[in-house]
Amino acid sequence: MSKTIFSIFIFLVAVNLVPTVHGKKLVPCFFVFGDSLVDNGNNNDRDTVANANFLPYGIDYPNGPTGRFTNGRNVADFIAEALGFTDHIPSFATAKGGDAVVNGTNYASGSAGILNGTGKEFGDVISLDEQLQNHQTTITRSTSMFGSAHVAKTHLGQCIYYVGMGSNDYAAYTMNPDRPSPDHYASLLIDNYSRQLRELYGYGARKVAVFGLGAIGCVPATHHVYGTLCMSATKTMSGVFNTKLRSLINVLNQDLDGAKFTYIDTFGIAASKTTSFRYPDLECCTVNVGGTCIPQGVACRDRAYFAYFDGYHPTEAAAAVLAKRAFAARSPSDAYPFDIQHLVQV
């Protein structure tokens, strides 16, 4: 595929995410819980090395470096655009005024995980439990704005929620010499995740897209460890978790009245989408020993050809493909029981 044709392809992927009714939001608000895949600045002013508010991160983002761990937009940004939001959802750290409360908030934090201790070796990161606590603050603001807890909860029940956690928990798992069996660890994570997702439901969330683990063992930072065994190693680490998570979605929908949880198969989409990139397992920027971009370092020129920007995080081009298939499934396995555009309608 020529450079020109490939660039047109990526442009069309992004454009086709935008709703057909220009300027009309499909839902009143969009909330984001997660890690560095969707962090848009919550770690910037915290005491942590897990941040990305410097070039070459943000080299293709209109506002430059914002704390996004990629060259431009991330998955949550593309989904927000697909939902009809004209501005990207603000980080909790910067969210101010009524618009941020009404339209939604991004709570994601780089290096954070399902377990409270995950990522703490990198500094003051915001675990999923802490992100849920921050959401309580938003709920309090919403209740004050709407003048009624009932009205606020009704509003929140119409919103879309993005939740994507677990990658950093598995990074910690691989470094633990006394780690439990894959099945035991996955069960530990799922038990905690179930509690957290039920808590989110208790706060009024009804339409929740839960993203499974991607090909965490195949990112450039770890590819040299697994080599040709990359995919099988990844399945060992995260496959059991994804299977259990998909089952949990069924349980939540059965147990919780009015709940519409859906599972996004990040692993399957990631495994197939990299075939469209010339460089599916190389980082685009010059990285340090930890796999993140060197501050003010060099970034590759042909970023649309790369699946990964640094040693762990997708480029804007790769994020666009994942977001597109999460929003409008290309295969029945991409999303279960429905993709995000159908989640809006149920």
What residues are labeled active site? 36, 310, 313
Find out whether 290 and 274 touch, Cβ atoms under 8 Å: no
- DSSP three-state, residue 283: strand
Share of the chain residues as helix, strand and coil, in percent rounded to the nearest 5: 45, 10, 45
Which residue bears the tokens 């070796």? 121
Element (H, E) at 92: none
How far is the C-alpha of 294 from the C-alpha of 310, rounded, in Å? Answer: 9
For 133, the token pair is 């606590």
In Å, how far are 29, 133, 142, 269, 283 from 146, measured between CA atoms?
14, 20, 6, 39, 46
Q: Which residues contact 196 (CB under 8 A, 6 or more apart)?
A: 114, 128, 129, 132
Find out whether 286 and 294 touch, Cβ atoms under 8 Å: yes
Provide the pairing of β-strand 279-283 with 306-308: parallel
Which residue bears the tokens 């999923």? 128
- What's the DSSP call for residue 184? H
How far is the C-alpha of 269 from the C-alpha of 273, rounded, in Å? Answer: 6
Residue 326's nearest CA partner among 276, 258, 273 is: 273
Tallying the residues shown for the chain, one arrives at: 346
Find out whether 213 and 267 touch, Cβ atoms under 8 Å: yes
Q: Which residues contact 232 (CB under 8 A, 6 or more apart)?
A: none
Work out the end-to-end distance of the chain between its first and last CA atoms, rounded to an integer number of angstroms. 39
